[in-house]
Structure 1
Amino acid sequence: PVSPAALLPHHISSLIPILQSLEADGTPDIPSLVRSLGGCGTPVCHTLLGDPPPIPTPIPEPWALLVHLLHPNTTAAERGVLLAPDGSTVALAPLFAGIEVGLKRAAGWPGPIDQPYAALDALYAVTITEALGTSFLVARLNGTAALGPDGCWDDVDNPQNFTLLGPPSLVPNAVANGAMDGVLLGTRLAEDPIPLSTLFRRYYGVDNGMTSGWPHSSRRRRDFGALTAVGKLEEEVAAMLRVLRGLPPTHELLEEFGEEEEADIARRAAREFMEVYVECPAIIPRCMWGARPYRGTPRPLSPPLGSIYIHHTFVPSAPCRSFTACARDMRSMQRFHQDTRGWDDIGYR
């Protein structure tokens, strides 16, 4: 027989009933449970957040479902990611790590007090700065990309497998999204702790969140930029690099760099992250909405371009309220343009 977990779509909407079940069972600390089952397990996370709870045997069904969403394929480069209703893909480990810090702060946790960890803002440390600093450090040494790439799901209606569109960095887009969400939601929970199922429904729900006064995931870039100045992120990455200098295996990597080079890595990491994930809009790749291939031979554009037109759609006139509906509309328009109009592709111009 096929287990229920094997049929579970890798979508945020699949996570909410699991959270509701755990809350109904009285599970005391769901974010730390996520760490036990495959969430953030780095030395920095462990030091800042403490030991996660032990995993019982046999694993209760809600826990087993959560394990499936966290790492369905341990050989995949990108795992523990879910499709959100806004069309973005979110990594669960940094998301829940940020939520855990927020809940700890709401309960009066003062943060790390031992050096060198006392210099860290725990919320940024467990969500983004460890991965970001390490990624730019490795990129400096190896000449590899430090950010990205994005990826695509096999089926937006029933997402099961997520494939990256290029060689992975330590901060692919899904990790960046999960980290920004972790910072935003952790900040919110520190001020107003609510059940996580309610939190996820409000933040990732189809509604834009304006009626309830809550932020929405589709605006994470704007909201993260409003909360986090580039100077703040640079300071946190620099503090993290000082911590990583004393931890294996990163201390061996940092031995080659002096203080000025270390500061330059922190500066570049912060500025490039903010440029890519805050200043620039999110772009949905064609493979995400299930585009057909271009008919004929496309002619590459030759920059510089004299002008660019951004054109809105006329049909369908009713706005789509979820990524699944928007992707369906895009496919419908492409079919009409190719099959009825006889065009090579969807008429963007």
Structure 2
Amino acid sequence: MSPRSWNPTTVVQGVHWILLGLFLWLEPGSASLPLLMDSVIQVLAELEQKAPVTEAIPIASVWQLSAQHSGPQDPLHHFLLQSWSLQAIELDPTTLSPELQGLTKEVARHSVQGRQEYGVVLAPDGSTVAVEPLLAGLEAGLQGHRLINLPLDSTATPPDASDHSPDVRVTSPDNQASSPDAKAKAPTTVDSLLVTLARDLGLTFLQGPKNWSHPGLGAEGCWDQLSTPRNFTLLNPEASPLTTAFLNGALDGALLGDYLTRAPKPRPRLSHLLSQYYGPGVAGDPTLRSNFRRQNGATLISAPALTQQVWGTLILLQRLEPAHPQLQGMSQEQLVLVATHATKEFTEAFLGCPAIHPRCVWGAAPYRGHPTPLRLPLGFLYVHHTYVPALPCTTLASCAANMRSMQRFHQDTRGWDDIGYSFVMGSDGYMYEGRGWHWVGAHTRGYNSRGFGLAFVGNYTAELPVEAALRVVRDVLPRCAVRAGLLRPDYKLLGHRQLVPTDCPGDALFQLLRTWPHFDANVKLRTARRASRRSKRKPPPVTPTSQ
């Protein structure tokens, strides 16, 4: 195919549904690639090379074929497909190798069965992403930022009506940013970019008030191996059914879909767009990448606007599926209450909390001995710098290597049971779990059981960590911990040097800490006499590993 004949807009518009439909022709046991985002990008690149170039978009036919072989058709997707007035063409699924076909089969549908999560892949930044909601957002973005008018009632627009063609308006969803209440007028449109997220948020919180007070939305998990991942197991299967991987995928889809609505034509190939987003950053912007999805998501999605979308999507589902077991008989007052709680939980417990890589992502060695539980909530945050490693870590590979190095030093040289810190903050946008929220650490001698030890990777004697890392430790993590009942609302923030004779957390960082909310400047005065007595002994070396 010559570059002149390649129409990027036409080709990429069909890629999502090609992926969802290809599994129809796959035989059980087909060979597959590792469940990596790079493998998904490889599939997209090959499809973009081989997809037919016509003005017809091969979406509707693929979805219809898919529905015939995979059970009852999803009325919501059927509604969106018809609203986009898409045309159908024949597909040839044999254009992909068996390995690529095997991958498309595995990622075509997202599901959770027991502790196993399916349809997810490991991204280069260490996060796990559900592919189906990611591609749904990309597809919506390729159609434009649309508000789709809801059908008037369930009898007027049955989901299988052949003449069903709801009105579609291209406009901004910010026009509906007012927060609803029980007396507010019900929304009449849904935003195609947020439909997938809004649907699952709404249906999850329809299950009952027990989900409304959950301290954290979603569940993290671990891969069987990081080099060639095949199986993803949830760490806490009792957590919200909205897993972190699903929320990552839905959020990435919304962010990239939004980018596509604003990108000048010709739009980039999806394989190229995803390579940038899960790499150095889209169009040279290092902040527009997966490492910062939560920060960018909080900017894109306001709570009032999302509440409207969740409410509107529940109304749409209620009209498309009058017999839906969760929605049958639900009043508008009940729906808006569910939408409000669902949005609050998502914006505060997911977008408003730091992205924390569990120990399995950085390759932690097992804990030695028996950990001592903390008595929560705690009243202190102790800030450290690692000093060694002295350089900030900016990638998963470097941050994970730093974590393993510190753990080895703490366990093998210091003789401790584990890495000392509760959490470690990288400059890659992620916090790394050390001893975590529930176990006493070895970070601030004499005070380990009273507070969490938070360390920045790097030496901050003469310079400061990047602003994104500072914001997480200053604002995001404390707010999230207070909300979850892990940290007292009146907590005190201290530098390591205020309690132990050390230069930690470095002069530059400590001077900044003095300006932060909750910093307690009087602690050093109260402990000066004790520190003076200790100073007669040989002080410990100036190193992050001092208790």
TM-score by length of 2: 0.55
In the TM superposition, what is the alpha-carbon distance from 1:45 to its structure 2 partner? 2.0
Task: Quickly say closer, same or farther: Cα 1:250–1:180, change in 2 above 3 A.
Answer: farther
In the TM superposition, what is the alpha-carbon distance from 1:301 to its structure 2 partner? 1.5
- Aligned partner of 1:198 in structure 2 is 272
**Range moving further from structure 2, 139-148 or 283-292:** 139-148
Is 1:330 paired with 2:400? no
SS of residue paired to 1:309: strand
C-alpha distance in 1, partners of 2:102/2:322? 32
The one-letter amino acid of 1:9's match is P
- Aligned partner of 1:235 in structure 2 is 308
In the TM superposition, what is the alpha-carbon distance from 1:96 to its structure 2 partner? 0.4
In the TM superposition, what is the alpha-carbon distance from 1:308 to its structure 2 partner? 1.4
- Higher normalized helix content (fraction of residues): 1
Work out whether residues 129 and 246 of structure 2, in 8 Å CA contact, stay in contact via their aligned partners in 1: yes
SS of residue paired to 1:138: coil
In the TM superposition, what is the alpha-carbon distance from 1:74 to its structure 2 partner? 9.1
Bigger relative CO (Cα 8 Å, ≥ 6 apart): 1
Aligned counterparts, 1:203-242, within 5 A: 203-205=277-279, 207-208=280-281, 211-212=284-285, 215-242=288-315
- Aligned partner of 1:165 in structure 2 is 235
Match of residue 95, structure 1, among 127, 134, 145: 134
C-alpha distance in 1, partners of 2:380/2:52? 57
Aligned counterparts, 1:151-300, within 5 A: 151-167=221-237, 169-192=240-263, 193-205=267-279, 207-208=280-281, 211-212=284-285, 215-248=288-321, 251-300=324-373
Aligned counterparts, 1:316-327, within 5 A: 316-327=389-400
Task: Quickly say closer, same or farther: Cα 1:317–1:184, change in 2 above 3 A.
Answer: same
Q: Which runs of 5+ in 1 are unaligned?
A: none
Work out whether residues 137 and 253 of structure 1, in 8 Å CA contact, stay in contact via their aligned partners in 2: yes
The one-letter amino acid of 1:173's match is T
C-alpha distance in 2, partners of 1:73/1:272? 21
Is 1:11 paired with 2:36? yes
Task: Quickly say closer, same or farther: Cα 1:97–1:183, change in 2 above 3 A.
Answer: same
C-alpha distance in 2, partners of 1:213/1:30? 34
In the TM superposition, what is the alpha-carbon distance from 1:321 to its structure 2 partner? 3.8
Work out whether residues 34 and 96 of structure 1, in 8 Å CA contact, stay in contact via their aligned partners in 2: no
C-alpha distance in 1, partners of 2:413/2:371? 20
SS of residue paired to 1:307: strand
Match of residue 79, structure 2, among 8, 27, 47: 47
In the TM superposition, what is the alpha-carbon distance from 1:224 to its structure 2 partner? 1.0
**Range moving further from structure 2, 72-81 or 331-340:** 72-81
Q: Which runs of 5+ in 2 are unaligned?
A: 1-28, 153-165, 168-188, 422-442, 444-547
Work out whether residues 58 and 89 of structure 2, in 8 Å CA contact, stay in contact via their aligned partners in 1: no
In the TM superposition, what is the alpha-carbon distance from 1:315 to its structure 2 partner? 3.0
Work out whether residues 31 and 97 of structure 1, in 8 Å CA contact, stay in contact via their aligned partners in 2: no
C-alpha distance in 1, partners of 2:46/2:305? 38
Work out whether residues 109 and 132 of structure 2, in 8 Å CA contact, stay in contact via their aligned partners in 1: no
**Range moving further from structure 2, 255-264 or 128-137:** 255-264
The one-letter amino acid of 1:66's match is T
SS of residue paired to 1:310: strand
Work out whether residues 11 and 83 of structure 1, in 8 Å CA contact, stay in contact via their aligned partners in 2: yes
Larger radius of gyration: 2
C-alpha distance in 1, partners of 2:137/2:411? 45
- Aligned partner of 2:121 in structure 1 is 82
- Aligned partner of 1:308 in structure 2 is 381
In the TM superposition, what is the alpha-carbon distance from 1:313 to its structure 2 partner? 2.6
Match of residue 115, structure 1, among 142, 147, 151: 151
C-alpha distance in 2, partners of 1:290/1:129? 34
Match of residue 135, structure 1, among 170, 191, 204: 204
In the TM superposition, what is the alpha-carbon distance from 1:26 to its structure 2 partner? 3.0
In the TM superposition, what is the alpha-carbon distance from 1:242 to its structure 2 partner? 1.0
Task: Quickly say closer, same or farther: Cα 1:235–1:71, change in 2 above 3 A.
Answer: closer
C-alpha distance in 2, partners of 1:219/1:250? 40
- Aligned partner of 1:66 in structure 2 is 104
C-alpha distance in 2, partners of 1:340/1:163? 33
Work out whether residues 150 and 316 of structure 2, in 8 Å CA contact, stay in contact via their aligned partners in 1: no
User: Identity across aligned pairs (percent)?
Assistant: 41
SS of residue paired to 1:202: helix
Task: Quickly say closer, same or farther: Cα 1:112–1:194, change in 2 above 3 A.
Answer: same
Let me know the Cα RMSD of the aligned residues: 3.4
C-alpha distance in 1, partners of 2:79/2:202? 17
Work out whether residues 238 and 266 of structure 1, in 8 Å CA contact, stay in contact via their aligned partners in 2: yes
Task: Quickly say closer, same or farther: Cα 1:74–1:308, change in 2 above 3 A.
Answer: closer
In the TM superposition, what is the alpha-carbon distance from 1:198 to its structure 2 partner? 1.2
Task: Quickly say closer, same or farther: Cα 1:42–1:151, change in 2 above 3 A.
Answer: farther
**Range moving further from structure 2, 41-50 or 88-97:** 41-50
The one-letter amino acid of 2:271's match is S
C-alpha distance in 2, partners of 1:285/1:159? 16
Moved over 4 A (4+): 27-39, 50-59, 71-77, 140-146
C-alpha distance in 2, partners of 1:31/1:337? 55
Deviations 1:253-275 (CA, angstroms, capped at 9, x unpaired): 22353322221101000111001
Q: How many residues align?
A: 340
Match of residue 26, structure 1, among 25, 31, 51: 51
Deviations 1:46-70 (CA, angstroms, capped at 9, x unpaired): 2203488766465732444322444
- Aligned partner of 2:25 in structure 1 is none
